[in-house]
Amino acid sequence: MALKVGILGAAGYTGAELIRLIDLHPELTLTYVADREHAGQKLGAVLPQTEGVAGLSDLTLELFSEDLAAQLKKQVDVCFTALPHAASASLGGALLDQGVQIVDLSADFRLRDLATYEAWYGPHPRPELIPRAVYGLPELYRKELPGAELIAGPGCYPTSAILPLAPLFKEGLIDLHAPVIVDSKSGASGAGRKPGASTNFSEASEGMRPYKIAGTHRHTPEIEQELSRAAGTELRVTFTPQLAPMIRGILTTAYVRLKDGVTEDQCRNAAQTHLVSELLTVLPAGKLPDTLHVRGSGRAHVGYALDERTGTLIGMCAIDNLARGASSQAIHALNIARGFVETAGIPRLAQFP
């Protein structure tokens, strides 16, 4: 029988993408949707793409609270929490207490160190749950995911930075004394559905701008955590996010210094060894990632180029921020946790053009 699925925060872009993918999934059935802002409305009125779709458009968006957790346990087997930080831990934690499997798409369970979380996000409402969370990056945590009750969905920017760099640190190919620089460009949907001056069409369509630079973006400690784990030593990363004039997609270019004698092919081989997945391609020499080539899919394209004049390796990754950077990666992790076919419900081909 199909798993009964709920989504808290169903009316946002991440929730909408989850609904699209769950509808494609042979093992999942959406039975519950909640959203504080749109509670009481039909899903078809809030997400017009579901209008007229049997079993979806007539679902009513509920107002979920912790005291309803025992009741919701009767309606769902697994719940995706696509909520702001702290709210996900509180509401998702209440469901976890009732035995509901949680796939969290907030930052609440990504960081293993409580002090680090609180330095960047403030007090954690359920710190005792942090050790139970499995980081949901399938290529690096495939062995830990089976049977996981609490999955921490990685951030979109961290996904695009960790994938090309972690294999190189694992193989000891990078000079640990040199800077690690990550530059990422994201489409405007990464800012969420709530309207804002900086992301409306007039201000985002013809310009490109960095924001939250110089160590102030909250995804910085997540990138550092996972790359430090791969390297076996504590690392610091200079991370610059930029808003690009497109709707979906992230293109990351990361700059590291290789150890003497390390070649571009060694880097590519390391990625092919450590990033085994039907939903990831390590591009051959001379081919470079393009967000258009992964748009709407659950795929990641990873590429490398070595500047031999300086010994600097450029590691690149293109993903769809709403899919591979959030919703499809969450489903990929759930598939592994439940023993389903890894690619179930996940588009393997991009929308092109």
pTM for this model (two decimals): 0.95
Looking at residue 196, its pLDDT comes to 67
pLDDT at 109 > cutoff 90? yes
Give the residue from 183, 192, 187 showing the smallest Cα distance to 220: 183
User: What is the Cα–Cα distance from 241 to 54, expressed in whole angstroms?
Assistant: 40
| E strands, the chain, in order | 3-8, 28-34, 61-62, 78-81, 101-104, 133-135, 150-152, 181-186, 209-210, 238-243, 250-257, 280-282, 300-307, 312-319
What is the tens place of the pLDDT at every residue in 52-73? 999 999 999 999 999 999 999 9
* DSSP characters over 282-321: EPPTT----GGGTTTSS-EEEEEEEETTTTEEEEEEEE-T
> For residue 275, what are its two tokens?
């990033």
- What is the C-alpha radius of gyration for the chain, rounded to an integer number of angstroms? 20
What's the rounded mean pLDDT across residues 212-239?
A: 95
Give the residue from 7, 173, 1, 161 showing the smallest Cα distance to 83: 7
**Average pLDDT score over the chain:** 94
* DSSP characters over 201-249: HHHHSS--EE-STTTTSTTHHHHHHHHHHHHTS----EEEEEE-SSSS-
Strand partners, 73: none
Looking at residue 215, its pLDDT comes to 85
Give residue 84's Cα distance to chain centre: 14
User: 3-153+324-338 falls under which CATH superfamily?
Assistant: NAD(P)-binding Rossmann-like Domain (3.40.50.720)
Looking at residue 272, its pLDDT comes to 97
pLDDT at 329 > cutoff 70? yes
What is the tens place of the pLDDT at every residue in 171-205? 999 999 999 999 999 998 877 767 666 667 767 77
Which band of pLDDT confidence, cut at 50, 70 and 90, is reported for residue 321? Answer: very high
| E strands, 36-106, in order | 61-62, 78-81, 101-104
Looking at residue 275, its pLDDT comes to 96
What's the rounded mean pLDDT across residues 15-38?
A: 96
What's the rounded mean pLDDT across residues 313-329?
A: 97
Q: Where are the domains of the chain?
A: 3-153+324-338, 157-321
Q: Which residues are catalytic?
A: 156
Residue predicted with more confidence, 237 or 207: 237
Which band of pLDDT confidence, cut at 50, 70 and 90, is reported for residue 208? Answer: confident
Which band of pLDDT confidence, cut at 50, 70 and 90, is reported for residue 207? Answer: confident
Looking at residue 205, its pLDDT comes to 76
Asked whether this chain's domains 3-153+324-338 and 157-321 adopt the same fold, the reply is no
- How deeply is 111 buried, as exposed, middle or buried, from its count of CB atoms within 10 A (0-12, 13-18, 19+)? buried
User: What is the Cα–Cα distance from 160 to 182, expressed in whole angstroms?
Assistant: 10
User: What is the Cα–Cα distance from 34 to 7, expressed in whole angstroms?
Assistant: 6
What is the tens place of the pLDDT at every residue in 231-275? 999 999 999 999 998 989 999 999 999 999 999 999 999 999 999
Give the residue from 78, 231, 212, 72 showing the smallest Cα distance to 155: 212
Over the range 78-108, which residues count as b (16 or more CB within 10 Å of their CB) and which as e?
bbbbbbebbbbbbbbbbbbeeebbbbbbbbb
User: Percentage of the chain surpassing pLDDT 90?
Assistant: 90
User: 157-321 falls under which CATH superfamily?
Assistant: Dihydrodipicolinate Reductase; domain 2 (3.30.360.10)
